[in-house]
Structures are given as C-alpha cells and as structure tokens.
Amino acid sequence: MPHITYVAHDGASQTLDITAGENVMHGALYNGVEGIVGECGGALACATCHCYIDAAWVDKVGGPASDAERDMLGSAGAEVKPESRLACQIVVSDALDGLVVHMPDRQF
C-alpha cells in the first residue's frame, strides 16, 4: 500500500497507508487528517481539498492541474501556487508511494 505524508500548515505530519486507486482527498478524510475538508466529496465542485504538492512530486502526480481543476482552484480559500492541486484529483498508485502533500493555512 502506498504511503502518503500529509503535512499540516503548522508543520505537523502524518504518514498513512492509502489504498491504490483511492484519491488523496479520501485518504485524508478516511483517516481524520485535519486541513482537508472535501466538501463536495471529490466531484470537482469545490476547492476545499486544495493542497500543495511537494516539489519533488509535482511531475509524478500527473503533471499540472487540468483546465477544470485550475478553474476550481480559482475559488480556493488560500493562496494558489504553481504546486497547488485538488487532492480529489490525485489518484493514489504504487508510483506515488512516498508522496508528500502540504495543506494550506485555510480551505475557506
């Protein structure tokens, strides 16, 4: 099972086993990770799972955000950066074992 590390805005981190095929947002929600809300359930209809992909992983998560994802990121509550992604749009695979995602200071 791939290991994903979720880093809170204050620097606290949790490394969790997330089932391949699941998305990074559900991995956070199912494990009580603070900082990812996932208000729309992963339907690409909100930006409350906004996260920052660790620089070493940006290319490995499927490249930059799609046009639809970039549009949705426009409503993110925190600063949108080049490494911003919606966690619901990142599908966990064995190739993402070790992925590190950082949470913004707020989702609203």
What is the distance between the alpha carbons of residues 104 and 55, in angstroms, rounded to a whole number?
Answer: 15
Q: For the chain, what is the domain count?
A: 1
In sequence order, what E strands does 22-88 have? 50-53, 84-86
pTM for the model: 0.95
- How confident is the model over 79-87, as a mean pLDDT? 96
Residue 63 has pLDDT above 80, yes or no: no
Residue 62 has pLDDT above 90, yes or no: no
In a domain, 108, yes or no: no
Q: How many CB atoms lie within 10 A of CB 52?
A: 21
- How confident is the model over 89-97, as a mean pLDDT? 97
In a domain, 107, yes or no: no
Pairing status of strand 50-53 against strand 84-86: antiparallel
Mean pLDDT of the chain: 96
Asked if residues 82 and 57 have their Cβ atoms less than 8 Å apart, the reply is no
Domain encompassing residue 31 = 3-102
- How confident is the model over 84-100, as a mean pLDDT? 97
* Local confidence band at 14 (pLDDT 50, 70, 90 cut-offs): very high
